[in-house]
């Protein structure tokens, strides 16, 4: 995931007025893949809180643990949708919890 910038907006054909975090990779059999997230989806909110950049998303994830259900606000091909994701375990090098 990366904060949207003009280069990424052009690469993924995302409107230039859009802010958020674009999904640039999906790990096989991950919670993201199971939930139906796609490369190029833009996360604009997490549990009703606006996400303008990766820092916003990163700060919000501190309240989320494996097994929690989160609702992501997504912009996909000019459609605004919500996707529920059950948060899975992360490899130890990516964990923010003990």
pLDDT of 75 higher than 90: yes
* Structural domains present in the chain: 2-94 (2.30.42.10)
Residue, of 42 and 90, whose pLDDT is higher: 42
**Residue pointed to by tokens 């949708």:** 81
pLDDT digits (tens, 9 = 90+) for 25-72: 998 888 999 999 999 999 999 999 999 999 999 999 888 889 999 999
- Identify which of 65, 62, 60, 37 has the alpha carbon closest to the alpha carbon of residue 50: 60
How buried is 70 (Cβ within 10 angstroms: 0-12 exposed, 13-18 middle, 19+ buried)?
middle
Cβ atoms 85, 70 nearer than 8 A: yes
Query: Partners of 80 in the beta sheet?
Result: 75
pLDDT of 1 higher than 60: yes
- Identify which of 49, 50, 44, 48 has the alpha carbon closest to the alpha carbon of residue 23: 44
CA distances from 92 to 66, 85, 96 (A): 13, 20, 9
pLDDT for the residue numbered 52: 96
Quote helix, strand, coil % in the chain, to nearest 5.
25, 30, 50
């Amino acid at each position: 995931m990366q904060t949207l910038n003009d280069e990424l907006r052009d690469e993924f054909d995302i409107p230039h007025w859009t802010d958020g975090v674009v999904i640039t990779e999906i790990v096989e059999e991950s919670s993201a893949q199971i939930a139906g997230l796609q490369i190029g989806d833009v996360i604009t909110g997490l549990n009703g809180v606006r996400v303008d950049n990766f820092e916003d998303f990163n700060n919000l994830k501190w309240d989320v643990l494996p097994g929690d259900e989160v609702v992501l606000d997504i912009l996909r091909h000019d459609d605004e949708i919500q996707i529920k994701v059950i948060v899975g375990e992360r490899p130890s090098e990516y964990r923010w919890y003990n």
